[in-house]
Structure 1
Amino acid sequence: MTPMPAKFEEIQRLYLEKLSGIISDADMEKLEQSIQRDEESRSIWDSLTKKGQSLDLENTLHSIDIQTQLDKVKAQEQQKKQPNSLKRVLFIAASLALLLTCSYFIYFYTISNPSQAVATKSNEQVKLILSGGKTVLLDKQEKQSLTIGGIQIKLSQNKIESVAGSNAADLNTLIVPNKRDYHITLPDGTEVTLNAQSKLRFPAKFIASQREVYVEGEAYFDVAPHADQPFIVHTPLAKVHVLGTTFNVNTYNKNLFCTSLISGKVNIQTADGKALTLKPGFEAVYNKETGLYMQAFEQENRISWLNGVLYFYDMPLEELKNILPRWFDKEVVFSDKSIAKKRISGLIEKDKLPSFIKYVTGSAGVKCELKNNAVYISRR
C-alpha cells in the first residue's frame, strides 16, 4: 500500500486541530500560508473540509455529552469486541480532548485502506508449567480435557476452565507471551485475566486458611468471595489482601507497583511494612523512592486492555519502548533522546500497529517506520 504523503498528514493534523479548537497561533498562520501559496495543500484542505462537512463532523463534536458517551464506550467494551464504527471511534475520542478528532480520521483512513488492519499472531505460545515440571503449550492443545501427571486440566478457547489434581499445594505457572492475553478460572472460582508478558503462579487447590497466588506483569482479578479464606495476591513489591472484589494489578515496571480497585475492598501491604486500605475508584501506587500512596483513577483507562484497547494521555514517546514489545512484539528505536521526550495522547488497539504508526507520525510530527521487526522513530 502506498504510504500517506507527509504533506497530507501535516494538513490533516492542522485541520483537526483547527476543528477541535486547539490549534496554535503559529500553526494557524502556517496553515493559512500553505493554503494560499501551495495548490496541493489547498486541494488537500478542500478535500478534508468537504468530508468533514458531509459528515457534519464539527457539530457532532460540539454536541457530544462526554460522560454519556464514555458510559456507552464502557458498555460497548464489556461486550464482545465489534468491528470499528464511526460512532464507536467518536465515543472513545470524547474521553480525551486531543483524541476527539484525531481518532476519527485515523479510523476513516484505515477503513479506506483495509490492508492497514493487519492481524498478527505471536510465534510464542501460552504455556502452563505444571508443578511437576511438565510444560503444556496451550495454543496447540486440541483436546478440551487433559490429564498429565495426575493433574486434570480443562480448556476452552483462550482460557483454562480448571486445574485440579493430587499435587494440590504445589504451584503451577501460567505464562502469557507478548501480544497475547489469557483467562483462567482458579480452584475457588476466582476469574483472572493476564495481560501480555505476564505470569501467574497458583495451586491446583486452596487448602490452607488463605488463598494465595503470585503475579508478575499485569492481571485483572474477579475474586470469588469466601469470608473464612482471604485471597492474597503476591507481587515483587507488595501484596494485596481481599475477600471478594474486582481489581487490577500492574507490576510491569519492576520498581513500581500499582493496584486499582474496581469494586469491594482491599488492603495493601508493602515489603517494607507500609500499608493502606483502598476503596473503589482509587488505586495504590508504590515504589521505594516515593513510598506508598493512594490516588483516584479512570476505570475506562486502567482496564481497557481487557478489550484490546490502551488509552494514554500526555504520554512521552519513550513509553512506547515498554508498550510496543508487549502488544506487538516490536522493539522501538529512537534516532535521538530528544524525540523520546515528545508527548502524545490517544489510544492503541491490538492488531492495528500500522494505523498506530500513522497516528504517531501525524500527531507527534515525527517519522515513524516499521522495518526489520522494529519501529524506528526519528525527525522528519
Structure 2
Amino acid sequence: MLKGLILKISDLQRLIKKYNDGTASPDERRFVETWYEDLHVDTGKAEGELPSDLENSIFSAVEAEIGDSEQTRNPSLRMARTLFRIAAAVTVVISISIYLLFFRLAPVSNHTVPKVVSVTQNDVEAGGDRATLTLGSGARIILNELQQDSLNYGASVIRKNEEGSIRFESTGRLLPAAELLAWNTLSTPTGGQYKIVLPDGTKVWLNAESHLRFPTVFAGNERHVELVGEAYFEVSQDKSKPFRVIADKAKIEVLGTHFNVMAYKDEKSMVATLLEGSIKISSKHGEKILSPGQQALVNQTLSVKEVDTDLAVAWKNGFTLFENEDLRTIMRRIERWYDVKVIFQDHLTERRFTGGIDRKAKLSSLLKILELSDIQFELNDRILTVKK
C-alpha cells in the first residue's frame, strides 16, 4: 500500500484511467488491486470492507455537491473531471491510511462518522464568478451584475463572453496620449474568481482575493501587468514585445507560455509554476530560468524545484486539491474561497493532509475530509472555529 504514497496526482489519474479502460499492464492492475485489499486489511475489518458509515463519509466528502459540473458541454472536460474525482477519492483514502499508521487514531471499526452538524446547519456555498473592473477613468463595473454583452471604452470594446469571462478588444481607433497611459484593475473578492482576455490576446484566470493591473493598450516595446494574489496565465506570443508580470517579490518575464503565479501577501513565498514554455524569475536574490514542470519559490531566497503542476493549477481547473499541506495553509485557502474567517481555538500540531474535492462543493463537504483526523469545526456567522 505504501507504494501509492509516492504517486503524484497526475500518475494516479493515468493509472486509474488505464485500469478502467483495460489498458493497464498486469503489474499495474495488480498494484491497484493489492493496494485496495491492503487498505482494507489495515483497517482491521474482518470482512475486508470499510464500515459503511466511514466509507460513505469518505466518498461523500469527495463527491458531494458536484452534480452541476456534470452538465458541462465540454465532453473532454467532463471526462477529465470524472477521472480527477476518482483520483481525489483515492488520495483521500490514502491520507486516512497515513493517519491510521502514523497518527495512531482509534481503530476504524470503532470510528464514528465525523460530526459536522454545526457546520452543515449553517453551511457555506463555494465561491463563484465575481469580480469588479476599475477602469482608468475611475469607473467601477461589477462584472457579475453587468447586463450588457459589450461596453465601449476608448479605443477598446469590453465584451462579456461567457459566465466569468471578459475580453478587451481593440477597435483600431487612435488614442490620445492620456488614454494610452490609462491602467485598469480587475479585482476578485473573497469567494470570487474571474477570467479576462487582455488586449494582446493573453488569457488570465484570476483566483480569489486577487488584483490584476493592466493597460488598456500595450504600447511601446514590452507588455507588463501587475499581480497581487494568484493567477494563471496563457500568454499570447509576441517576440517583439516580451510579457512581464510584476508580482510582489519578483518579476517574471516570458515570450509565450503557460504558468501560474501565487503571490498573496499572507503567504511566506511567492510561487511561480511553469506548465509550458520558459520563464525567467528575477528578484533581489538573483535570476532563475524555469523549464516545464518546475516551480520557483521567492522568499528570503530564490529556489527552484520539480513539482506536480496539476497541484498548482487545480483551482483554475475547478478543484480544491491539497497534497501534504499543513492545516494553516489549507485554512488560508478556505478563507479566500468560502469567504469565512478562521479561528484556531486549540493548539494544533502541524499535521499534513492530502485530499481533493470539486471547487463548487459546499464548505461542509471539504471539512469532512479534514475531520477524519479528529479535528472538529464549528461555524457561526461565517466564523469557522478549528478545535480538537
TM value normalised by structure 1: 0.71
The two structures, once aligned, show a CA RMSD in angstroms of: 3.9
Q: 1:129 maps to which residue? A: 134
The answer on 1:224 being equivalent to 2:236 is yes
Identify which range, 163-172 or 213-222, moves more after superposition.
163-172
Q: 1:269 maps to which residue? A: 282
The superposition leaves residues 22-50 of structure 1 with CA deviations (integer Å, 9 ceiling, x where unpaired) of 95xxxx6xx68xx9xxxxxxxxx999457
Name the % identity.
27
Identify which of 32, 36, 39 aligns with 1:20: 39
Distance 2:129 2:85 in 1: 31
Distance 1:252 1:215 in 2: 9
Identify which of 336, 344, 352 aligns with 2:353: 344
The answer on 1:89 being equivalent to 2:89 is no
Q: 2:159 maps to which residue? A: 154
The letter of the residue matching 2:309 is Q
Q: SS of the residue aligned with 2:221? A: coil
Q: 2:345 maps to which residue? A: 335
Change (3 A) 1:22 1:237: farther
Q: 1:39 maps to which residue? A: none
Cα displacement (A) at 1:98:
1.6
Identify which of 282, 300, 303 aligns with 1:293: 303
Change (3 A) 1:164 1:173: farther
The superposition leaves residues 36-74 of structure 1 with CA deviations (integer Å, 9 ceiling, x where unpaired) of xxxxxxxxx999457999xxx9xxxxxxxxxxxxxxxxx
Distance 2:146 2:362 in 1: 27
Q: 2:102 maps to which residue? A: none
Identify which of 363, 366, 371 aligns with 2:380: 371
The letter of the residue matching 2:340 is K
Change (3 A) 1:140 1:191: same
CA contact (8 A) 2:133 2:186 kept: yes
The letter of the residue matching 1:169 is L
The answer on 1:260 being equivalent to 2:269 is no
Q: 1:278 maps to which residue? A: 290
Change (3 A) 1:358 1:273: closer
Distance 1:349 1:329 in 2: 17
Change (3 A) 1:214 1:47: same
Change (3 A) 1:260 1:96: farther
Query: For structure 1, which runs of at least 5 residues remain unmatched after alignment?
Result: 1-15, 36-44, 58-75, 103-108, 110-114
The letter of the residue matching 2:377 is C
- Please show how residues 314-333 of structure 1 align to structure 2 within 5 Å: 314-333=324-343
The letter of the residue matching 2:211 is K
CA contact (8 A) 2:40 2:49 kept: no
Q: 1:353 maps to which residue? A: 363
CA contact (8 A) 1:360 1:368 kept: no
Change (3 A) 1:253 1:97: farther
Cα displacement (A) at 1:299:
1.4
Change (3 A) 1:163 1:101: farther
The letter of the residue matching 2:231 is A
Q: 1:182 maps to which residue? A: 194
Change (3 A) 1:253 1:82: farther
Change (3 A) 1:279 1:82: closer
Higher relative contact order (CA 8 A, sep 6+): 2
The letter of the residue matching 1:89 is R
CA contact (8 A) 2:263 2:271 kept: yes
Cα displacement (A) at 1:349:
3.2
Distance 1:275 1:187 in 2: 28
Cα displacement (A) at 1:93:
3.6
Change (3 A) 1:89 1:155: closer
Q: SS of the residue aligned with 2:333? A: helix
Distance 1:84 1:22 in 2: 30
CA contact (8 A) 1:230 1:243 kept: yes
Q: 2:254 maps to which residue? A: 242
TM value normalised by structure 2: 0.69
Change (3 A) 1:180 1:287: same
The superposition leaves residues 239-284 of structure 1 with CA deviations (integer Å, 9 ceiling, x where unpaired) of 10100111011101454211111011111111x2511111111111
Q: SS of the residue aligned with 1:224? A: coil
The answer on 1:311 being equivalent to 2:311 is no
Q: 1:64 maps to which residue? A: none
Q: 2:207 maps to which residue? A: 195
Distance 2:93 2:328 in 1: 22
Query: For structure 2, which runs of at least 5 residues remain unmatched after alignment?
Result: 1-34, 60-72, 99-112, 114-119
Q: SS of the residue aligned with 1:248? A: strand
Q: SS of the residue aligned with 2:201? A: coil
Change (3 A) 1:301 1:95: farther
Change (3 A) 1:248 1:47: closer
